[in-house]
Amino acid sequence: MAAMRFDVPHLDDLDLAGKRVLVRVDFNVPQDEAGHITDDTRIRASLETIEAILAKQGRPVLMSHLGRPEGKVLESLRLKPVAERLEQLTKKKVVGLDESIGPAVEKAVQAAPAGAIVLLENVRFHKGETKGDVELAKSYAKLGDVFVNDAFGTSHRAESSVSVVAQFLPSAAGRLLEREVAAFRKVLENPARPLVAILGGAKVSDKLPVVANLIPVCDAILIGGGMAYTFLKALGHEVGGSKLQADQLEAVKQTMAAAEKRGCRILLPSDHVVADALAETAKPSTVTEIPAGKLALDIGPETRRRYAVEIAKAKTVVWNGPMGVFEWESFRAGTAAVAKAVAEAAAYTVVGGGDSVAAVELLGVASRIKHISTGGGASLELLGGKALPGIEALLRPRVAKA
């Protein structure tokens, strides 16, 4: 079972009227070379929390990272474009600051007009941010009366603005974080059965802890992507030039033995779409046994059918990782078939992980998924049974005011 605790305090547990509400959001949005935001999904995801704070007469003070400046001030990673987009979306005054700590910032926060939103500068411009520096967290805490974590996508990181600042202020989860916690609670705590997990992606080493953690709660686990071929090799199948982590073979064998003992069925591909090379222009063909010189880049039609049948029978489905190289049309059919089956399932469906989310959006079925997680790494760690520092911090009693 997951080590994660789900009884987090909620936004409605805090008295926000007249208070400075320090909010960790995830505005790590993609931009083009000209600095224009190309996808504002993460900004939109924060709006419910921001609007709730304003409705409760609170004064939102937002902080986020953008990119990986590694403690340096990089003009290309300033949050000014985010402030402009946020102002467009909220139709509220957004006061964008060029720093995130210090007396001038404290004065600017105090001087912000009622009903306005303050956006601090990129917190990763400070070297101590990613190291969980306590003094830096204390500096953030001086900007708020209460703290709200609404950045699920960074909650697996023990960073100053994510988890450490919660030690110094009354803290709670924002609306987005609440939804994420509720979704994974439905999967990991007493799920409606059958519970089917679909796991894909390239590296089995990334997903093996997830498989191990899900075995006690899942009825079936469907494996696809490059990771499937270490499983197949462990069973004695030839995998040609397919992705293989030979150092994981023994661990995979132990995992499959544990699954059999617990009555959790692990399903593997029975046919494969292969090619001569990992290239978009490579000619695909379908085989049941992978010959030398070929590598598998997608699951085959029979596997798609089998997986769709399992998904259709499920009452709870969680999916993390594509079935193949879905970015290329020739090797997209497996991921597309799984996406269609998940979208059509009469089940509670959760999709997490950047590639899986990209796949359901590319294939036009995102609106039919019950919950799409905003955190790839965070959702993977949750499914792997790890406690997330950003959430655990909300459960601990705070220390003295900074």
Residue numbers annotated as active site: 42, 203, 354, 377
Please report the beta strands in 233-271, taking only residues with DSSP state E, as ranges in sequence order.
265-267
In the block, tokens 């359901």 appear at: 360
Q: Which two tokens stand for residue 275?
A: 């090619």
Please report the beta strands in 260-360, taking only residues with DSSP state E, as ranges in sequence order.
265-267, 272-275, 285-287, 295-299, 316-320, 348-352
Q: Which two tokens stand for residue 46?
A: 């924060």
Report DSSP letters for 45-60, one per residue.
HHHHHHHHHHHTT-EE
Amino acid letter, residue 315: K
Three-state DSSP class for residue 22: strand
Helix (H) or strand (E) holding 138: helix 134-141
Residue 296 near residue 274, CB atoms below 8 Å:
yes
Residue 150 near residue 377, CB atoms below 8 Å:
no
Cα–Cα distance measured from residue 349 to residue 372, given in angstroms and rounded to the nearest whole number = 8
